[in-house]
Structure formats: C-alpha cells, structure tokens
Amino acid sequence: MKAKILLTLLLLIVFHHTKADEGMWMISNLSSRTDSILHSMGLELSQDELYSTEQPSLNDAVVIFGGFCSGVVVSNDGLVFTNHHCGFDAINEHTTVKHNYLKNGFIANNYKEELPNDGLYVLFHLKTIDVTDRVLSQVNDSMDVKQRLKTIKEAMYSIEEEVTDNPNFIYGVVKSYNRDNKFYLSIYQRYNDVRLVFAPPRSLGQFGGDTDNWEWPRQTCDFSVFRIYADKNNQPADYNKNNQPFHPKRYAQISVKGYQPGAFCMTLGFPGSTERYLSSYGIESNMTTINDIIYKVRDLKLGILNKAMKADEEIDIKYASRYFSSSNHMKYAYGQNEALKNLKVADEKKELEKEVNEWIINNNESKYLGVLDSLKKQYENNFEKQYTYILLVESFTSGSDILNYIINKVMRHNITKNKAFRKNLKEFYDGIDIELDKKVFAAMAKNYLQMSINPQNRPDFFDEIDSCYGGDIDAFTDALYAKSKLGDKSRYTKIKNVDDIISDPFFDIAISIRACLSENYPNRTEIEQNERVFEEALREMNKDKELYPDANFTLRLSYGTIKPLNNNYTTYPQSLIDKSKNQVDNPEYKLIPEVEKWLNDNDFGEQYLDDTHNLPLCFITNNDITGGNSGSGIFNGKGQLIGLAFDGNWEAMSSDFKFDRNLQRCIGVDIRYVLSVIEDYGKAKRLINELSINH
C-alpha cells in the first residue's frame, strides 16, 4: 500500500513538472507556487536575486534591445550579447562593398573602433507595478465599447505621464494583460548610445539562412556584441564621442561547465505577442486573412529580390536586412498555418468552447451568454475587409519601397522642407535599386488582382490601368516610372521638398491605396470586446488554476529543461562542416575560407570543449518562447548564462496559440560557441577578459 502511494506521488510530481514548462511568467509577480516549482526543478536563486527594486538582481542584466529583441549585459563595462539577427540592421548599416562586415564579420580592437548606431537603444527594466484598480476605476458598465476603450487608453496614458522623466531617460509604459482585465505599469531607463563591438561572419552568424530557419538541428552562431555608453556620471546620454562605457548595477556571469539532458534552465527576455486564449474563430481568421496572404505575397516578392541579390553584391548589401526580416516572417506565417492545421488547434479550441458554454449555462453566468455566437458572426462579417486590408498592406505598403516611403514616411510624418528632408531622401535612395523596385511594383499589382476576393474592391489607379493602358500593368508601370521623378535615379535629386513629392504621380497612387485601406479598415472593436469577455469567462471557469498572461513584450521568465528532439540535444562542428560540403549548391551553407579553415583546424580552445572534447554549437530546451525573445539569455539554476535563445522549431510553430509540451522547443546558441568565435576565431581576447566566466 505504501509503495502504491509512493508511486502515485512520484507520478504526480512527474506530471506536475511535465506541465510546468508552459508559461511566460511575470518575473515581478511570481507566485509562491511558481517559485516552488522553479526551486524544485533546480533554481538556486531567491526571488530577490531574480527581481528586486531594492538591490541588484538578475533583472538588471536583461535589456530590451532596439525595441524588438532582448539582450544580456555580460560585463562591468556594458557589453551586451544579443543575436546576430537582432544586430543585423546595425551591422548592415556599416557594411559596404569595400568593408563587407556582413560577409566577413566585424571586430573592434579598442573602444575607438566601436561603431555608433543612430537610433539604436537599449531599455533597462526598473520595476513593474499593478495599476489595474486605477485604470478600471475609470470605467463603468454604462459605457459602450468605444467609450470604454477610449477611457482606458486615457487612464493608461495618464499613469505613464506621471512617471516619465525625459531628462533622465525614464519612461513608463502601461500594458494591458488578459485583454484589458489587468494592467501593469513597467518603468524603463533608456540608453541611446549603443555601439557595435563584434559580429561573426555571416556564414557563421546566419549559417543555414532560410533553409534552416525554424529547424532542428542547427549550427548557427547567432550572436553579436554591442556596448552601452553613458556620460561621465554613468548616466544615460545621447551619442557623444566623450561618452564612456556604462557600468551596470548587475551583469550576468557566464558558465562554460555545460549541461546534460534534464538540467534546469530558464530564459529571461521580452516575448512579443501570444494569443493562447483566443477563440477558435480568431485562430481561423488569423490563418485565412493574415498568414495565407503574408506567405503568398512575400514568396513572390522575395523571389524577385533573391534573384537580383544573387546577381549583384551591391544590391545584396542594400536589401539584405529587408530580405532577412521579410523572409523570416514569411516562413513563420507558412509554418504557423501548417502546425495549426496538423495539430488541429482550432478544433481543440472548439471543444474547449463547448466546455465554457456548458459552464456558463450550468452556473447561470448570464453576462457571458451568447459571447461565442457573437464572435462567430462578427468574424464572418469582418472577413472581406480584414482579408482585403492585409492584402493591400502586403502588396503595396510593403511592396514597392518607393510607395512604402511615401505612405509610411511622407504621409504619416511631418517631414519639413529643409536639409533634413533631402538628407532623408538621399539615404532612402542610397538603399534601393529603382529597376528592382519597378519589377516588384508590377508583380505586386498583378498579384493583387489575382488574390483579391472582390475584383471591384481595389485602389483607383487600377481604373487608369484599364482605361488608358487596356489593363496592361507592365505598360502602366513603365509609364509611371518614366514620368515620375521618384522613379528615376537621375531625376530624384531634383526633388527639393515635400511639395515635389505631392505633385508626383506616385503620390496619386499612394492616395488611392490609402483611400482603399481606409475603406477596408477592419473595425475590430466589437470583436476585441467579445474576445475579452470570452477570456474573462475562461479564466473565471478556471479560477482555481494559475493562468499566465499572454505575452505583450514585457519582461517574462520561462523555465524548462534541456530536452532532446529527434534524440538530439546539441550539435557539433562536424555537422556544420558536413552540411556545407554536402549542399555546395546552397549559398546559405557556404563558408568563407577563413571560417572553413578555423573549423577544419579544430582551433576552438580547450576551455570551451565539453566532456566529449568537442565544441557544442547549439542546444535545445523546452522553454516557452516567442518573437521578441530573440537574444534572451538562457540561464542555469545559478543564474549563469549558458546560451542565447534564437529560434523555435517547425513542429510547434502554432505555439503562439497553443503550447504543446511534447513538441515545443527553444533553440539556443551555446555560450561556449559564442566565446570560441570571439576568442579563437576573432582573436578578440580583450572582450573575453571583460567577462566573468565560471569554468
């Protein structure tokens, strides 16, 4: 009997820990239950050592990098590790045909060689405060949906303004949690002087490219190194050549002792967005009106860009950053839809909705009655506008770069008639190829007509194509680029001010696109209101359980273990070499000679080898991550850095809507790979000397 009880308890513990990997938990608001799970799995830090407003904590070593990624401060002189793809734009900005830092990598041998980056910043998270009562006290049941939303936004803005201190670069951000059922204020301090220090060659930092994106096993050395600078008083400041390396409250120590399957690990970073509590109707809408369109339109555009980039190194440099970002999103959209279909996520959600409806009826929860029926009808009524709006955005505002510039820069921003405008215009044209832009415009216009579900729902410039050019889009495009100053590189320099753009034929096309966008803007107010009510009902039904909030680009902790996929939990150099040798026709596996020699020489540094006397490249865990987590530190139980998260896996790309504990994986670059590339390949010993490394 005792043995049976013991076995039952052991099974409960195993089940408990199996379930425990799901969740992006607020580090500032960990419950005693979650804290207990963390320590039972192997965390050795106290809650105050994780997050504290009174003393230095691991929280102080984690940053938002550039407003779109995460990063980790790793030295007392402000070094930041993040992903190569997070630093890609900055690396590309400094790249020329003569100094191809994308292809060959970049190494600053001293502080003076570290490169400043206009507009790049990091944010340190200072504290998070629950302001739910303050926000919701401003609304009442008599308000309609629009009035409620407006009042909430005003309350959020007011709270943000109270704590924002511009001279000291302190900013408050109030975010909605649980679909406007909870609200938290996060306070950040911003550092605007962030300089490029080290980047591996692209054949390491982006090894595998699109081919390996979202795949395991991986060999990508996805990291880059930056440094935060501050004024002489160690306070945030805009770029100044006299600024000095920043000294943080806390920086992360590094462990090169490695890990074994089943070992505890956690990520700390800023996951962007998840929709784990979305209705089945919302999931289906996302698949048909967003993901399908993104994949089909971008696949066409990227095919055009790819051909031109392969043929011309200058074009490759100009478009590298845009291509990488767009391609990543395209593959994500396709992979997410495939996973959602294969795992039948919407069907599973429908079963859950049946349970919710039964609970509503059985418990006489009248305020939730009919919410799912309303959602079904609202999504059906909204379908055409949602579909057309996304198709317009992908085809035109994200199609031709010239149109994108007019719609997103000229129309949306107050660009004045001065030198700044002309400088901005020159920088834009230095970054595009007009003939390539012309091919994209024509292809996007043709594709829009093919994909449109209502041939009459289109921008007005198609009427001119029909009436004046007999429906010939190519002839219209030739005439447009010939007549336009914006469409001719020898004539754009004659544009002196915004008025010259307003009188250009491209501006007329932009107006017609904006008008069509406005006509098809999907009014989701009622949908969002009912999704909020549905989530509230779901949480109320499960009030005895602890449900984490969806990701919203605020600081989160996820925890899990090193867990193999396909009997494999780490990769080694030979697998990289084999991929390169066996797929010589794939440029994404091509190595520059210096990298090939380094790998074949096994010049990795004894201190970075594992128990098999080999250099670990990448590893895999079952931590819960999503976009925005790129560059997040992966830490062991002592809070020591063992890697950087950079990707998820193809099998679980539905994870933004459903976490599957059997499939979900987080792919990280091993910190030993990072350090070996810095020290043994890059010979940047000065950077290694800054780090606190536990051997």
Pinpoint the alpha helices (H) of 343-368: 345-362
Q: What is the pLDDT of residue 335?
A: 94
Give the pLDDT mean for 225-250: 97
CA atoms of 14 and 611, how far apart (whole Å): 28
List phi, psi (to 5°) of 692. -105, 100
Give the pLDDT mean for 32-53: 95
CA atoms of 338 and 233, how far apart (whole Å): 53
Nearest alpha-carbon partner for 186 in 138, 268, 123: 123
Dihedral (Cα; 158, 164, 166, 169), 10-degree rounding: -150
Q: What is the pLDDT of residue 591?
A: 97
Nearest alpha-carbon partner for 375 in 532, 531, 144, 524: 531
Q: What is the pLDDT of residue 5?
A: 36
Q: What is the pLDDT of residue 418?
A: 56
Nearest alpha-carbon partner for 84 in 73, 99, 69, 64: 69
Q: Which of 85, 193, 212, 655 is catalytic?
A: 85
Assess whether 186 carries a catalytic annotation. Answer: no
The string of pLDDT tens digits covering residues 119-140 is: 999 999 999 999 999 999 999 9
Q: Which conformational region is residue 615 in: left (phi greater than 0), alpha (psi within -120 to 50 degrees), or beta?
A: beta
Pinpoint the alpha helices (H) of 547-676: 573-582, 593-600, 671-676
Q: What is the pLDDT of residue 3?
A: 41
Q: What is the pLDDT of residue 10?
A: 33
Antiparallel, parallel or unpaired: β 224-230 and 254-255: unpaired
- pLDDT over 80 (residue 12): no
Low-confidence winner among 100-109, 334-343, 408-417 (lowest mean pLDDT): 408-417
Peptide bond between residue 217 and the one before it cis (omega within 30 degrees of 0): yes
What pTM did the predictor assign?
0.91
Low-confidence winner among 28-32, 252-256, 475-479 (lowest mean pLDDT): 28-32
Assess whether 85 carries a catalytic annotation. Answer: yes
CA atoms of 102 and 94, how far apart (whole Å): 9
The string of pLDDT tens digits covering residues 638-675 is: 999 999 999 999 988 999 999 988 899 999 999 999 99
Q: What is the pLDDT of residue 258?
A: 95
Q: How is domain 58-121+192-275+550-694 classified at the CATH fold level?
A: Thrombin, subunit H (2.40.10)
Q: What is the pLDDT of residue 413?
A: 63
CA atoms of 498 and 496, how far apart (whole Å): 7
| Per-residue pLDDT band at 1 (split at 50, 70, 90) | very low
**Which segment, 67-71, 424-428, 500-504, is predicted with the most confidence on average?**
67-71
**521-to-144, 384, 428 alpha-carbon distances in Å:** 21, 10, 28
Q: Which of 321, 326, 400, 630 is catalytic?
A: 630
The string of pLDDT tens digits covering residues 283-293 is: 999 999 999 99
Cβ contacts of 603 within 8 Å, gap of 6 or more: 680, 681
Q: What is the pLDDT of residue 419?
A: 62
Give the pLDDT mean for 525-545: 94
Nearest alpha-carbon partner for 671 in 651, 692, 686, 654: 692
| Per-residue pLDDT band at 18 (split at 50, 70, 90) | very low
- Asked if 122 and 191 count as a contact pair (C-beta separation under 8 A), the reply is yes
Structure tokens, 327: 């391609």
Cα angle: 555, vertex 337, 620; to 5 degrees? 50
The sign of the CA dihedral 309, 682, 629, 650 is positive
The string of pLDDT tens digits covering residues 172-230 is: 999 999 999 999 999 999 999 999 999 999 999 999 999 999 999 999 999 999 999 99
Give the pLDDT mean for 514-542: 94
Assess whether 630 carries a catalytic annotation. Answer: yes
**204-to-223, 254, 294 alpha-carbon distances in Å:** 9, 21, 28
- Asked if 73 and 79 count as a contact pair (C-beta separation under 8 A), the reply is yes
CA atoms of 33 and 158, how far apart (whole Å): 34
The sign of the CA dihedral 676, 677, 682, 685 is negative
CA atoms of 282 and 293, how far apart (whole Å): 16
| Per-residue pLDDT band at 561 (split at 50, 70, 90) | very high
| Per-residue pLDDT band at 368 (split at 50, 70, 90) | very high
Cross-strand pairs, 195:
116, 227
Structure tokens, 542: 């499960």
- pLDDT over 60 (residue 417): no
Amino acid identity for residue 40 in this structure: S
- Asked if 93 and 654 count as a contact pair (C-beta separation under 8 A), the reply is no
CA atoms of 215 and 569, how far apart (whole Å): 13
- Asked if 335 and 649 count as a contact pair (C-beta separation under 8 A), the reply is no
The string of pLDDT tens digits covering residues 138-159 is: 999 899 888 999 999 999 999 9
- Asked if 269 and 555 count as a contact pair (C-beta separation under 8 A), the reply is yes
Nearest alpha-carbon partner for 653 in 627, 631, 630: 627
Q: What is the pLDDT of residue 441?
A: 97
| Per-residue pLDDT band at 20 (split at 50, 70, 90) | very low
Structure tokens, 186: 């996060």
Pinpoint the alpha helices (H) of 554-682: 573-582, 593-600, 671-676
Counting DSSP H helices and E strands in the chain, the numbers are 26, 20
Structure tokens, 207: 């090894």
| Per-residue pLDDT band at 19 (split at 50, 70, 90) | very low
Cβ contacts of 270 within 8 Å, gap of 6 or more: 64, 69, 70, 553, 554, 555, 556, 628, 629, 632
CA atoms of 531 and 378, how far apart (whole Å): 11
Structure tokens, 301: 């555009």
| Per-residue pLDDT band at 397 (split at 50, 70, 90) | very high
- pLDDT over 50 (residue 516): yes
List phi, psi (to 5°) of 341. -70, -50
| Top-confidence residue, 497 or 515 | 515
Amino acid identity for residue 295 in this structure: Y
List phi, psi (to 5°) of 266. -140, 155
Low-confidence winner among 109-113, 266-270, 566-570 (lowest mean pLDDT): 566-570
Q: What is the pLDDT of residue 414?
A: 55
Average pLDDT, the chain: 93
| Per-residue pLDDT band at 7 (split at 50, 70, 90) | very low
Per-domain boundaries in the chain: 58-121+192-275+550-694, 123-191, 303-320+349-519
Nearest alpha-carbon partner for 90 in 321, 245, 328: 321
Antiparallel, parallel or unpaired: β 79-82 and 69-73: antiparallel
Cα angle: 282, vertex 283, 284; to 5 degrees? 90
Burial 223-233 (b: 16+ CB within 10 A, else e): bbbbbbbbeee
Give the pLDDT mean for 73-86: 98
Antiparallel, parallel or unpaired: β 122-130 and 244-245: unpaired
Cβ neighbours of 1 (radius 10 Å): 5
- Asked if 228 and 193 count as a contact pair (C-beta separation under 8 A), the reply is yes
Residue listed under structure tokens 């936004």:
153
Q: What is the pLDDT of residue 13?
A: 35
Task: Identify the helix (H) or strand (E) that includes residue 468.
Answer: helix 461-469
- pLDDT over 80 (residue 299): yes
